[in-house]
Amino acid sequence: DASKRYPVIYNLHGAGGNELHGFEEARLLDKGIREARWPEMILVMPNGGKATFYKDSHDGKWPAETMLIRE
């Protein structure tokens, strides 16, 4: 159904991390959805780089903010 809407959670890892740090949260969220404790939703776990703070770098080499918004 193309008209169905879902809540979205953005799991932004901390400095020095990556998207792999969110797997435990993803497992817990999946379990809660399957047990009907929470509604179906979308979990977004972007890789923001080691120290981008999710901002585009001045030199354009790390477009973390642009990537997150466009994706």
pLDDT digits (tens, 9 = 90+) for 15-59: 776 667 778 889 999 999 999 999 999 998 887 667 677 888 889
What type of residue sits at position 52?
Answer: T
Enumerate residues 6+ apart whose C-beta is below 8 A from 7: 39, 41, 42
Using 50, 70 and 90 to split pLDDT, how confident is the model at 8?
A: very high
| Residue 13, C-beta contacts closer than 8 angstroms, at least 6 positions apart | 19, 21, 22, 45, 47, 48
pTM over 0.85: no
Q: How far is CA 56 from the centre of its chain?
A: 17
